[in-house]
Structure 1
Amino acid sequence: MKHSLNEIFKEAKLLHAVEDISSTKKRLRIEIPSDAIENEIKDSLERLRQKTKIPGFRPGRAPMNLIEKRFGKEVEAEALEKVIPEFYSRALKEAELTPVTTPVFDEKFDFKRNSPLNLSLTVEVMPKVENLHYEGVKVREIPIVVGEAEVEDSLKRLQDERAIFEVAEKEIEMDDIATFDYIDCEIVGEEKDPTLKDEILKMGNEVFPLDIIEKMIGKKKGDVVEFTKTFSEMFRVKEFAGKTLSMKVMIKEVKRKILPEIDDEFAKDLGFENMAALKEKIKEKIYDVKKRHAVKIQKAEMLNKLIESNTFDVPETLLKNEMETLVIQQANTSLGESKDATKEKSAFEEEKKDDEELQAEMRQKALKNVQASIIVNAIGQKEEVTVTDDEVKERINVIAQRLSVKPEMMMNFYITKDGSLEGLRHLIYEDKVIDLMLSKAVFEKGE
């Protein structure tokens, strides 16, 4: 009598259960009953017989031995590809293991028709984190104060954003805009670049090297400025990194910055009734930013305490993946150009640090990140935290509003980057779990 796969599952057991290679690496020895494979092979052969045209036979009437002779090996391979993952998944479930890598066969298995298939598989798994005491974790209370000077600084930034520039017969000062022509421009040792006209530069531009800007300060329309600049190996524009640039420019025009008055009219232009209302809104925004920053610190402190009080191994693959992520993030951060020569030198010296020391630092940071993620997932499972589709849509809307783009564009960004919205869903999941953990913490006043 033919048994269904579910019936076979009920009867089948792990042959030798689970062998511990380490707390995060297991060897599973599985015996797949011959019925499971044979049933799949026969079903596939019958489907092929129904649709395959063989000379001298009507579809579905060809002898099974002919079908098997023609398609047997192919069907056997397909049957194994289907049945092995099903039994492997069941074995993991039976052993209560969560894999973090695909399994590796310890040896080449020998498959014979109508015989049980014995497999030995090695797989990395999530560690079991038990007895997590996350209720009542002591967290430092962080007072939030918004000073008047902070409000004034924000007002000045708003004022600066709404500045206008007008042509002036004057010497160049910081914050002015200068228009100039390149008379001569070359990278020493290379072919000269063609001259450019009507280039515009704002004095104090954070991208343009400060020492070049300082050469222009005090100059006026008609003046010619010459300078030579040797860029560090860390300069973000690769074409200039480690090279010397020689330039000669002529100032064509100077524009000075004119700031609007900070008064009730200024507030009304921004959509507020008066200056008091604008200041109140600024104060609220500063408070919100500080509050988010304080909560971020509290969450980090809480996770650090849980990491310190819970010892467990982490899967080497997760650690390796996290280190690769940190390396990419560090490389992207290093692309930014320093504002002055001192910072350039500091960045260069940092780059020269001993490789082993850098690796150790990166590994330690990656280890903490992975440990935190494992703890969060363990607590999330215990608390049965879930993320709904509506919560994903809401997060997309919030991000889109913050970036002033359409939600559809934001959704396409995540799908293009990750292939689905599961990455964003997991971020929301972690946020919900950590918020839950923080709600169960005990806040203590700091010193």
Structure 2
Amino acid sequence: MADETNNVTTEDDVTPETPEAPETATATEEPEAEESALQQTVSVKDSGPACKELTIEVSEESIANRIEESYDQLATDATIPGFRRGYAPRKLIERRFGSSVKDDVRARLISESYSKAIEDEGLDVIGEPDVKNFDEIELPETGTLSYVVEVEVSPAVDVPAFDTFEVEEEAFEVTDEDVAKEIDSMADRYGDMASIGDGEVQEKDFVQAHVNIYAGKDAGDDAEEIGHHHGVYILVNGEKADYKGHVAGIVVEELGKKLAGKKVTDEVRVSMTGPESHEDDKIKGQDITIVIKIEDIQRVKPVDMDKLTTMLGVESEDDLKTRIKEDLQQRREREQQSKKHDQLREQLLEKIDFELPEKIAGRQIARNLQNQAMQFAYQGMKEDEIEAKLADIRSENEEQARKDLRLFFILDRIAKDNEIEVTPEEINGRIYMMAMMRQTRPEKLRQQMQQSGEIESLYMNIREQKTLDKILEGAKVKTK
């Protein structure tokens, strides 16, 4: 019987490294071999609202081709002691790298076949694919590679003709009274904040406080503490804002009334139910008690007209009034456009119905909050007003969140059908406008937005507005 060890190739049995042949003038690099086309079969079936299940089967020939291509590349690139690059025997390469080659080919085939299947089937995938039992998928010695992947896709949306939409707009005029109110507001904004000592809290004051949040209704200080915040500033709102206040991102009803008349060292206790959308499970939908311990009361002393005109770089009070009137005119126009957009949003939801994919709701809610923040900033709201609005939005119920998600898909479909895109110039222009409203440098604001990931939200916000403007071009508009 022949000795089986005679058929085993070892490193000592193979041809050792030989001197390299000298280069000649005619030597040229061989072009890289093109990757062979992937052969596969795909079956698609519905697996839920806006969800597809794909069964992908890669042919045995494609598997063999990818393995061969990997070994060919290794034969060229692999460095093995005792052998010149490109001259190591194939069997040695297979023995050394076989396991990693199979893992690499398996991952590549899944990635390539998935991408090809999505493209061939024309699926508009959203979110990440869910490859079933990914860790159990193995590259077969013979036969095909088969696996199942589930994906969420953009739902089918049928958009009616734009002339079926009808919106109303209100005629408006910027009055001298409007200008005077804006000047008073600016005088407060540029005024100096000062502690009032032993005075009592009034509307528009800022209360600096230490805030504790306890679990339970009418909880005492011995209850479980689920949150505490030092140096919190609370704006005391009046009737215009329904006396609502915002404490640690939580909307507190009639907080302005509860704080009015209080002094430093006084304590205000509020028993309430935490908002359903709060990120902390101990607060979300739970009975809580918020304890506000007043540490300081600060009030704004408005600047006088001379100082205000100097700070704003205008020559006189009349120039300031003219400038403010122009700004208010532009702001009202944007507000009017925003109201027409709101009417369109309502009608789009009424006219278009479809089922939503379930898994992306949470991600979309977060994007919606950023989008709303961009919209409020564009309307000229100050940062504290934006935070207050976002706190209100967090209190909305799940039904509203689903409406927002449906609206996103509707507008996305219309934008794609009408090839609506956003240019870099439009993004830069919006950043410039927001920077002017916030009284900061555009380049500084852009840097902040890039660091916080808000540029994408700004892009989507502009795209949505352009899409709604496109609908308005064909809609019926009535002035009342």
Provide the TM-score with structure 2 as the length reference: 0.64
2:281 aligned with 1:229, yes or no? no
Distance change (3 Å), C-alpha of 1:40 and 1:391: farther
Residues 365 and 405 in structure 2, CA contact (< 8 A), matched pair in contact too? no
Match of 1:8 among 37, 40, 43: 37
Aligned partner letter, 1:148:
D
Match of 1:184 in 2: none
Residues 162 and 475 in structure 2, CA contact (< 8 A), matched pair in contact too? yes
Deviation at 1:369, TM superposition (A): 0.8
2:84 aligned with 1:58, yes or no? yes
Distance 1:122 1:321 in 2: 18
Match of 1:278 in 2: 320
Match of 2:125 in 1: 99
Aligned partner letter, 1:407:
P
Match of 1:436 in 2: 470
Match of 1:72 among 98, 112, 118: 98
Distance 1:131 1:257 in 2: 54
Where do 5+ consecutive residues of structure 1 fail to align? 179-187, 191-200, 217-225, 250-254, 331-335, 338-346, 351-357
Residues 8 and 33 in structure 1, CA contact (< 8 A), matched pair in contact too? no
Match of 1:252 in 2: none
Deviation at 1:19, TM superposition (A): 0.9
Match of 1:111 among 118, 134, 139: 139
Deviation at 1:244, TM superposition (A): 7.7
Residues 230 and 245 in structure 1, CA contact (< 8 A), matched pair in contact too? yes
Residues 134 and 440 in structure 1, CA contact (< 8 A), matched pair in contact too? yes
- Tell me the percent identity: 24
2:95 aligned with 1:90, yes or no? no
Provide, for residues 358-410 of structure 1, a one-character-per-residue CA deviation record: whole Å limited to 9, x for no partner: 99x62211111111111111111111122233333333333333323333332
Deviation at 1:14, TM superposition (A): 3.5
2:253 aligned with 1:214, yes or no? no
Aligned partner letter, 2:37:
I
2:359 aligned with 1:317, yes or no? yes
Aligned partner letter, 2:100:
E
SS at match of 1:101: strand
Match of 2:71 in 1: 45
2:51 aligned with 1:25, yes or no? yes
Residues 154 and 282 in structure 1, CA contact (< 8 A), matched pair in contact too? yes
2:479 aligned with 1:445, yes or no? yes
SS at match of 1:60: coil
Deviation at 1:113, TM superposition (A): 3.7
SS at match of 1:102: strand
Residues 38 and 114 in structure 1, CA contact (< 8 A), matched pair in contact too? no
Distance change (3 Å), C-alpha of 1:382 and 1:160: closer
Distance 1:65 1:422 in 2: 51
SS at match of 1:425: helix
Distance change (3 Å), C-alpha of 1:329 and 1:441: closer
Aligned partner letter, 1:25:
C
Distance change (3 Å), C-alpha of 1:279 and 1:235: farther
Distance 1:430 1:158 in 2: 31
SS at match of 2:322: helix
SS at match of 2:56: strand
Provide the TM-score with structure 1 as the length reference: 0.68
2:425 aligned with 1:390, yes or no? yes
Distance 1:164 1:363 in 2: 42
Distance change (3 Å), C-alpha of 1:444 and 1:392: same
Residues 414 and 424 in structure 1, CA contact (< 8 A), matched pair in contact too? no
Distance 1:161 1:426 in 2: 31
Across the aligned residues of Structure 1 and Structure 2, the Cα RMSD in angstroms comes to 4.8
Distance 2:84 2:472 in 1: 71
Distance change (3 Å), C-alpha of 1:28 and 1:275: same
Match of 2:21 in 1: none
